[in-house]
Amino acid sequence: MSKAIAIFWFRRDLRFQDNVGLFAALESSLPVLPIFIFDPEILDKLPKKDPRVSFIYDQLQRMRSQLQEDYGSSLAIYHGRPKDIFHKLVQEHEVKHVYTNRDYEPYALNRDNEIKGFLTENNINFSTYKDQVIFEKDEIVKSDGDPYLVYTPYKNKWLFKFNNDEHLQPSASEDSLKNFMQHSRLPNLSLSDIGFEVSTVKIPDYTLTSNLISKYEDTRNYPAIKNGTSRLGPHLRFGTVSIRSIVKKAISSENEVFMSELIWREFFMQILWHYPNTVTDAFKPKYDRIEWRNNEKEFEKWKKGETGYALIDAGMRQLNATGYMHNRVRMLVASFLCKHLLIDWRWGEAYFAEKLLDYEMSSNVGNWQWAAGSGVDAAPYFRIFNPMTQADKFDKEGKYTEKWVPNIADPSYPDKMVDHKEARERCLRVYKSALS
């Protein structure tokens, strides 16, 4: 036992700038030991070359170096069940206080509850902070206290509250970074120690210029346009950038559409927080009566991008190759899976979860349920995207399609796996009989 310390536990907030919980820890009177825990409960479900794990790993090593070079400190990196790691930490150090930023996913809520219980038993304080959103939990609700289920009134209330108060205050001065615990050797791990290999797929940096934000409304629907969208998702997911710094840029623009997308993120986060059952159940229960066809072979074709519909296939191939798919195309492939193929939205949700670098449970579940028609504020079931019409509207010159499906004219390119008209009519029949 040496002297008393505080711990800051990094999770999905991998940065030193504008980090609410971190600054709270550093402003306490105790030296701060920063830690990260690779949790097998999460890792063991991922492929060995998962690019997200590589990204997190690289970012942690960068942070560790920075702590060593600039602050004479370090970052302790562990692999194991969080409860076991904390058990070890309280034996090795006189831990007085553990600080962390809140995570609202069901697994994380359980995990943190358990950790809180363990720490409390040991007379250690556990403090959590709102960091990854502007408004969390039930901060934006109707006047009767119920959560919003429709986006537009939610957005109005969100903006009203945002505009009537200061929500972008820097949480601390960065001077406090010198309050890290002085230490030269803290536990570290290699990627192979945690059972992973370096991925060749990289998470790209994001570009968020005022020019992009002001043009966003006009460019965001065209997958062939370079920098038509921000590519911010993974950075918000892992917290390599703070939401406040992004919102600050968004509000300085005349055009509200980019800002609106940030509010959608929080809309789905509060839906997941209020309705964690929507991870597995249709938000509208009737939609769980739909008789999905769930044909495995057809699912395989969809996954590989071999449906015979060029824009659908381009999207899936982009996803498989890069871990990214343009938003417009995400809607189309989701609609195609649920409606043309009548495959359960949960199957598609799971595949996106496996592949997307910017995978975020709340948005993924929310948007898949939107596509299936079963979610909050969802697309009406009779609204079925026509992949050819959409290609004509949003990829008129075929640039995007050609990039990802160059063999479209070859005999090797598959025939359309379903006829649009027939699949559409089948979908309407099946949905109608489930919902009536």
* Binding pattern for the stretch 196-225 against DNA, x by CB under 7 A and - elsewhere: -------------------------x----
CA–CA distance from 356 to each of 34, 99, 270, 316 (Å)?
A: 28, 29, 21, 11
CA–CA distance from 404 to each of 127, 315, 318, 324, 388 (Å)?
A: 47, 8, 6, 12, 16
Give the residue with the Cβ less far from DNA, 156 or 169.
156
CA dist 7 and 15 (Å) reads 16
- 288 is a site residue for DNA (CB under 7 A): no
Six token digits for residue 424: 């559409």
Give the residue with the Cβ less far from DNA, 150 or 321.
150
How near is the Cβ of 342 to DNA at its closest, in Å? 17
Of 61, 127, 245, 327, which one interacts with DNA (CB under 7 A)?
Answer: 327
CA dist 332 and 326 (Å) reads 10
How near is the Cβ of 298 to DNA at its closest, in Å? 20
Give the residue with the Cβ less far from DNA, 58 or 261.
261
How near is the Cβ of 426 to DNA at its closest, in Å? 13
Give the residue with the Cβ less far from DNA, 150 or 198.
150
CB contact set of 29 (below 8 Å; sequence gap of 6+): none
CB-CB contact of 36 with 85 (8 Å): no
Of 26, 331, 338, 357, which one interacts with DNA (CB under 7 A)?
Answer: 331
CA dist 316 and 303 (Å) reads 6
How near is the Cβ of 377 to DNA at its closest, in Å? 4
CB contact set of 43 (below 8 Å; sequence gap of 6+): 53, 194, 195, 196
Q: What b/e string do you get for 404-430 counting C-beta neighbours within 10 Å, with b at 16 or more?
A: bbeeeeeeeeeeebbebeebbebbeeb
How near is the Cβ of 153 to DNA at its closest, in Å? 4
Contacts from 66-74 at CB under 8 Å and sequence distance 24+? 66/16, 67/34, 67/180, 68/184, 70/177, 71/177, 71/178, 71/180, 72/180, 72/182, 72/183, 72/184, 73/34, 73/180, 73/181, 73/182, 73/183, 74/34, 74/183, 74/184, 74/185, 74/186
How near is the Cβ of 358 to DNA at its closest, in Å? 14
* Of 128-136, 204-212, 326-334, 340-348: span binding DNA (CB under 7 A): 326-334
Of 304, 382, 407, 422, which one interacts with DNA (CB under 7 A)?
Answer: 382
The residues in 386-405 that bind DNA, with binding defined as CB under 7 A, are 386, 389-390, 393
Of 185, 226, 297, 421, which one interacts with DNA (CB under 7 A)?
Answer: 421
Give the residue with the Cβ less far from DNA, 36 or 385.
385
Of 367, 369, 374, 401, which one interacts with DNA (CB under 7 A)?
Answer: 367
* Of 90-98, 170-178, 243-251, 374-382: span binding DNA (CB under 7 A): 374-382
The residues in 253-272 that bind DNA, with binding defined as CB under 7 A, are 261, 264
- 167 is a site residue for DNA (CB under 7 A): no
CA dist 203 and 45 (Å) reads 20
How near is the Cβ of 316 to DNA at its closest, in Å? 18
- For DNA (CB under 7 A), the number of binding residues is 37
CB-CB contact of 305 with 314 (8 Å): yes
- 428 is a site residue for DNA (CB under 7 A): yes
Q: What are phi and psi of 299, to 5 degrees?
A: -60, -40
The residues in 125-164 that bind DNA, with binding defined as CB under 7 A, are 142-143, 146, 148-154, 156-157
Strand-pair category, 32-38 with 76-79: parallel
Give the residue with the Cβ less far from DNA, 59 or 229.
229
Of 303, 328, 346, 355, which one interacts with DNA (CB under 7 A)?
Answer: 328
- 370 is a site residue for DNA (CB under 7 A): yes
The residues in 24-83 that bind DNA, with binding defined as CB under 7 A, are none
CA dist 274 and 268 (Å) reads 10
Of 222, 377, 408, 430, which one interacts with DNA (CB under 7 A)?
Answer: 377
- 384 is a site residue for DNA (CB under 7 A): yes
Crossing angle of helices 361-372 and 345-355, in 10° steps, is 150
Of 379, 405, 417, 427, which one interacts with DNA (CB under 7 A)?
Answer: 379
Q: Where do contacts with DNA occur on this chain (CB under 7 A)?
A: 142-143, 146, 148-154, 156-157, 221, 261, 264, 327-328, 331, 367, 370, 377, 379-386, 389-390, 393, 420-421, 424, 428, 432
